[in-house]
Amino acid sequence: MVSKTKRVLAMILTGMMAASALAGCTPTETTEGGGTNSTAASATESAAAGDGASKAAGGEVQDIEAMTDNIKAKMKEEAAATGGKISLTFWCASDDRKFEKSRIEEFKKKYGGDGYEFDISVKAAFGEGEAGGKILESPKDGADVFNFADDQLSTLVESKAIAPVIELFNSNVVANNSEETVSAYQIDGVPYAFPKTSDNGYFLYYDKRVYPTEADVANLDDMIKKAAENNKNVYFNIGNGWYNAAFYFSAGVTIKYENGKQTTTFNTDEGFNAAKAMCHVAENAGKGFVGTDGGSGDNSAVAKGFKDGSLAAAVIGTWEGPAIKEAIGADNVGAAKLPTALIAGEQKQLHSFGGYKLIGVNQFTKYPVTSQTLAYFLSNTESQIARYKERGLIPTDLKALEDKDIQSDPARKAISDQQPFSHGQGSSVGGKYWSTNVGGFGGEIVTKKGKISDDELKKSLQSIQTQIDT
């Protein structure tokens, strides 16, 4: 009979072999960045040596705790090739650096062993919005493990820069997450990342002293009027293409990213209606409404505004929840789905982007098992609860979501209420969307306080459409 240790190590190796094969590499093939993936070389014996990453639906749930010693044995093997030291680089957002470092210290305690040592560098140079693009510049020189937003997944997979998740871990990730979450980290049924948070989107945070009831935050025009009466403002950065998409989606504009191609219908009656709606809101710039970050960045603008009392509400995400609670007191913080806005003469529910933040493993890492284990550890139930407690970020893990503090957080309900009006970034936008003037156009509307002629609006929309279609 095969011993449990040998069986587990075989599962790890088989998963790595199949995952590498599914990534499309061979011993002689190089990917973007110029290096040959040595891990992939072992995969050439058979792409179907086992279930591996191809079993996207998830196999039998594994007791990872019981397998700790076996995983550590494999880490020791990896370390032997580099003098007993496992040197990894991890990328995260600057706001997350302190938290992620603390979790990595826990990882080192749990998986440290005789005969090898960890040297894990936590770098905050590239956050979720930048990491995917930076990895693609030179995958073999990128971080071994990195955080990224789900809209970058398809490009990372197409470029063979990200390693599929091995079945040993994927079976547990599938079991611990919803079907929607699982689909967010898969391409063609193959799992490529570990889900970390479910809040890669935006909704409304507000001061309940200004808006005592949910009815007070149902209509954007009413909100702006009431904020002005209290010498405050509503912050909604329509000078940013991520946020102003709310108006386009609500007006009926189509924004899709499929098979590597960006398509939109900005240059239509629907696009014009969205632009006119933004002009209507921007007429209140400086008197109940703030529509750009003033160059300081959304996070800084929102934190400062609530702290100095100039903001009554803000369209932002959970990452600013802790700062808002600190600024006005947790009891005064409300959260809700986005309000309605006046579009083409009707009040229409504002939509949003919504999605997930993921943790990926570089296809070129020298330590594939260690890197996969670290990614799994940083995304497991315990880490997701800890991440919420310190950073206020909403988990994906179903067990983590049962935590009483998370259950009672108004942000969780706001995300749930916004979800029917939410659009996945991965299926909506690619790099070309961000390189157009979508954000700049919104910024111009705010700067001119909505005083732009219909002809000028149509000309700008046509220009944006041409940028996307070219």
Query: Phi, psi at residue 86, to the nearest 5°?
Result: -105, 105
Per-residue pLDDT at 37: 34
Per-residue pLDDT at 10: 52
- The yes-or-no verdict on residue 442 having pLDDT over 90 is yes
- The yes-or-no verdict on residue 385 having pLDDT over 80 is yes
Per-residue pLDDT at 210: 98
Confidence of residue 28 (pLDDT cuts 50, 70, 90): very low
Per-residue pLDDT at 58: 60
Instruction: Round to whole Å and give the CA distance between 28 and 38.
Output: 10
pLDDT tens digit sequence for 176-194: 998 889 988 998 899 999 9
DSSP assigned state of 139? G
pLDDT tens digit sequence for 124-179: 988 888 888 899 999 999 999 999 988 889 889 989 999 999 999 999 999 999 88
12-26, 217-231, 274-288, 400-414: segment of lowest average pLDDT? 12-26
Of residues 256, 431, 281, the one with CA closest to residue 348? 281
Complete domains list, the chain, with CATH: 4-199+356-402 (3.40.190.10), 203-354+420-469 (3.40.190.10)
Give the pair of three-digit tokens for residue 160.
Answer: 């063979």
Q: How far is CA 391 from the centre of its chain?
A: 14
pLDDT tens digit sequence for 74-110: 999 999 999 999 999 999 998 899 999 999 999 999 9
Instruction: Round to whole Å and give the CA distance between 320 and 70.
Output: 40
Of residues 147, 248, 247, 164, the one with CA closest to residue 200? 147
pTM above 0.85, yes or no: no
